[in-house]
Amino acid sequence: MISGKRIAVVMPAYNAEKTLEQTVRELTDVVDIKILVDDSSNDKTAELSRQLGVATFIHDANYGYGRNQQTCYREALKAGADIVVMVHPDYQYTPLLVPAMAGMVASGVYDMVLGSRILGGGARKGGMPLYKYVSNRLLTAFQNLFLGVKLSEYHSGFRAFSRELLEALPLQENSDDFVFDNQMIAQAVIFGFRIGEISCPTKYFEEASSINFKRSVQYGLGVLATTMSFVAHKMGIVRLPRFGARGRKLSQEYYSQLR
């Protein structure tokens, strides 16, 4: 708990058995709620999660990274969280920064905080492939121009959110795939939420989840599409539920079978 606010860490997981324990062990005492959503893994991720004392939810099928996050946030809000921090259980990002990120939200200064691999110059040192680094910088420059904000990167999976933001954004209008992350930032911008960043080291190793080149290209195209749809909506050319107050929010169930 920070400043009287309950902190939840949510972990969207898929085949994270090898790195999960190390991730959970580094979560500090400020974390009040620990939640893992297993997207129908092929290993013992869910079994280990329960052994570690983490509230564990299992999708009845592999729905994708975006839907996994929706379940994470819904369950965190149901559990009474005021601040929710997403930590990937593959240990690519250090959980030791959770208190700092949650504190930035608890201060009331920011509604969303991104752990940036670019600030501090640690991305390449941590093993980020050159093609991913170059595409990260190009896509970030493109989005800064069209979204009208100035972030060091839009593609980090280490994030903290206020309860108010998670309740307001129409997250069920977003993709089930990895571009969900990018769409969420665009939504936060158009809804007027404040976004901060903190320098975050990263590690690329065999057990860390990372999309391949083909999926990276698909993600990049999704980022471009998200940006153009943002611009079209803001200019009034089209009206998209993803960027509208009436879009589907987390309070609405999109499927019910968790076991």
> Given a cut of 80, is residue 253 above it in pLDDT?
no
Q: Is 149 helix (H, G, I), strand (E, B) or coil?
A: coil
Query: What is the pLDDT confidence band of residue 206, given thresholds at 50, 70 and 90?
Result: low
Range in 9-18, 82-91, 144-153, 207-216 the model is least confident about: 207-216
Average pLDDT over residues 193-215: 76
Bridge partners, 2 (sequence order): 5
For position 252, what pLDDT does the model report? 55
Cα 107 from Cα 104, distance rounded (Å)? 5
* 86 contacts: CB under 8 Å, gap ≥ 6: 9, 10, 11, 12, 69, 72, 157, 158, 159, 160, 161
For position 204, what pLDDT does the model report? 64
Cα 223 from Cα 37, distance rounded (Å)? 25
Average pLDDT over residues 144-168: 96
108 C-beta neighbours (distance < 10 Å), count = 11
Of all residues in the chain, the percent with pLDDT exceeding 90 is: 78
Query: What is the pLDDT confidence band of residue 259, given thresholds at 50, 70 and 90?
Result: very low
For position 209, what pLDDT does the model report? 54
Q: Which domains are seen in the chain, by residue range?
A: 7-243 (3.90.550.10)
Range in 124-128, 158-162, 241-245, 254-258 the model is least confident about: 254-258
Cα 193 from Cα 8, distance rounded (Å)? 20
Of all residues in the chain, the percent with pLDDT exceeding 70 is: 92
Q: pTM here?
A: 0.91
Which has more confidence, 253 or 96? Answer: 96
Rg (Cα) of the chain, in Å, rounded? Answer: 17
Are the CB atoms for 88 and 209 separated by under 8 Å? Answer: yes
